[in-house]
């Protein structure tokens, strides 16, 4: 098991950063009957899913952690079948309806209708009463009716407008027997009627010191000596993404395991992913040559990244950051402006490759003009 999953906190009391947010979630869990629809949003690797699962455990008890993988088949009005993988327990169901593509509207309606019409196998939840300990297993428990289920929808910002409109109507109709917890990176892509029906909870990215502290705790649990310099270096290279930082730490451990099994060096280099090195090489080639032949060659590299499931927005952002390292300050602002323009186009269109190529062509034109003016 990867360290990022092995050492994932399962209780709100185990979360070590954003203490104010943790207290807010504990107050919501203290009155489970009044739990509203929730919208968790924030950058990747900030801890949204961890807090959602910790909240469910706080509300429903250990039964919310007994998960099973379920595959459902849905039939659209046009008799087309859609398969969706779900993670379920006796109390909740987790799914990414965006995987259904244009049929996500029917998936949302059918799943929530089914959840609202069926009863829990165990309709009694265990809830924590206030006591002198923070462990909800050792605290005094009392039984309360849990007359609703929870539907966790991830990547809500990738749903179509029709699916979000259907979600709004479904939230109103089944609010008495079903609670929705929505999770997304960009709340601006969620329509206002859906956001207004949810309590928004922003999970900000942890800072460098908070990530370094988590890395030290994980290293201690794995009986590994982690120097402070390396912990800070990994935290900075992770771009404030805690999940990525833990993967980097484990990668450093695997790399240095043959030399020193239980210790890491402060000067040890932090490994990067293959796709990051691939984009870095692509940026060097674009800066080196601006021609139609080079633009055609970049198309194959962009396709290679897309078919390996690297999101177009991530490709564009990483490419821009690599290009900026080779640019003069006088044109950085123009390049960033056009990058933001084409990132917006990516979110509106369906053919991502078109907009990525358009940005590279625009950059080539800007950089070639800059060189011509420089040597004129």
Cα 63 to Cα 30, 88, 89, 187, 303, distances in angstroms: 17, 11, 7, 30, 43
**271 closest CA partner among 285, 258, 253:** 253
Distance CA 137, CA 62 (A): 9
From CA 122, how far away is CA 107, in angstroms rounded?
25
User: What is the C-alpha to C-alpha distance for residues 186 and 341, in angstroms, rounded to an integer?
Assistant: 17
Q: Nearest CA to 96 among 12, 9, 157? A: 157
- Distance in angstroms (rounded) separating the CA atoms of residues 342 and 334: 13
Sheet with 199-202, side-by-side order of all strands: 68-75, 81-88, 92-95, 149-154, 178-184, 38-41, 199-202
- What's the fold here for domain 274-374? Zinc Finger, Delta Prime; domain 3 (1.20.272)
Quickly count: other Cβ atoms within 10 Å of residue 17's Cβ: 17
Place of tokens 């009957």: 33
Which two structure tokens, joined as six digits, stand for 341?
């323009």
Indicate the angle between helix axes 352-374 and 312-324, nearest 10 degrees.
10
CA dist 350 and 368 (Å) reads 29
Q: How buried is 44 (Cβ within 10 angstroms: 0-12 exposed, 13-18 middle, 19+ buried)?
A: middle
The pLDDT of residue 149 = 83
Helices (H), the chain: 3-6, 19-30, 48-60, 104-117, 161-173, 192-196, 208-221, 228-237, 242-256, 274-288, 292-307, 312-324, 329-348, 352-374
User: Hunting for tokens 């009044």 — which residue is that?
Assistant: 34
Is beta strand 141-145 parallel, antiparallel or unpaired with respect to 124-128?
Answer: antiparallel
pLDDT value at residue 245: 92
> Which residues, 6+ apart, have CB-to-CB distance to 250 below 8 Å?
2, 3, 4
* pTM as predicted: 0.81
The domain made up of 3-202 has a fold known as Rossmann fold (3.40.50)
User: Which sequence spans correspond to the domains of the chain?
Assistant: 3-202, 208-256, 274-374
Alpha-helical (H) ranges within 289-328 are 292-307, 312-324
Return the closest-CA partner of residue 367 out of 326, 339, 337: 326
Mean pLDDT by 10 residues, the chain (376 residues): 87 90 89 84 92 90 87 78 84 83 78 67 42 42 59 88 84 81 90 91 93 93 90 91 91 79 81 89 92 91 91 92 90 93 84 93 93 83
Q: At what angle do helices 274-288 and 312-324 cross, to 10 degrees?
A: 50
The Cβ of residue 252 has, within 10 Å, a number of other Cβ atoms equal to 23
Q: What is the DSSP letter of 151?
A: E
Rg (CA), the chain: 24
For residue 137, what pLDDT is reported?
46
d(CA 52, CA 181): 8
Residues 6+ apart with CB under 8 A from 282: 298, 301, 319, 322
């Amino acid at each position: 098991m990867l360290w990022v999953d092995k050492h994932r906190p399962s209780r709100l009391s185990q979360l070590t950063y954003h203490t104010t947010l943790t207290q807010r979630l504990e107050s919501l869990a203290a009155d489970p009957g009044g739990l509203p629809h929730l919208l968790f949003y924030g950058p990747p690797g900030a801890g949204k899913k961890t807090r959602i699962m910790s909240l469910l455990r706080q509300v429903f008890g250990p039964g919310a952690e007994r998960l099973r993988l379920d595959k459902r088949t849905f039939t659209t009005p046009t008799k087309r079948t859609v398969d969706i993988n779900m993670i379920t327990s006796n109390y909740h169901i987790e799914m990414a309806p965006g995987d259904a593509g244009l049929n996500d509207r029917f998936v949302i309606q059918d799943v929530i209708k089914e959840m609202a019409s069926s009863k829990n196998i165990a309709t009694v939840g265990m809830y924590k009463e206030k006591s002198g300990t923070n462990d909800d297993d050792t605290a005094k428990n009392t039984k309360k009716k849990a007359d609703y289920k929870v539907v966790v929808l991830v990547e809500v910002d990738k749903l179509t407008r029709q699916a979000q409109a259907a979600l709004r109507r479904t939230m109103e109709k089944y609010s008495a027997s079903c609670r929705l917890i929505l999770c997304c990176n960009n709340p601006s892509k969620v329509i206002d009627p859906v956001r207004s029906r949810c309590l928004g909870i922003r999970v900000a990215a942890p800072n460098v010191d908070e990530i370094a502290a988590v890395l030290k705790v994980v290293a201690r649990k794995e009986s590994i000596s982690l120097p402070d310099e390396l912990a800070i270096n990994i935290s900075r290279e992770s771009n404030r993404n805690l999940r990525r930082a833990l993967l980097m730490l484990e990668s450093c451990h695997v790399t240095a395991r043959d030399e020193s099994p239980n210790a890491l060096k402060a000067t040890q280099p932090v490994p990067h992913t293959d796709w990051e090195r691939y984009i870095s090489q692509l940026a060097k080639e674009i800066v080196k040559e601006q021609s139609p032949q080079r633009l055609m060659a970049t198309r194959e590299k962009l396709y290679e990244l897309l078919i390996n499931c690297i999101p177009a927005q991530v490709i564009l952002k990483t490419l821009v950051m690599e290009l900026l390292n080779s640019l003069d300050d006088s044109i950085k602002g123009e390049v960033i402006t056009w990058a933001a323009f084409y990132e917006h186009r990516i979110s509106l269109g369906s053919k991502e490759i078109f907009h990525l190529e358009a940005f590279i062509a625009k950059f080539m034109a800007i950089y070639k003009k800059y060189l011509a003016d420089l040597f004129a």
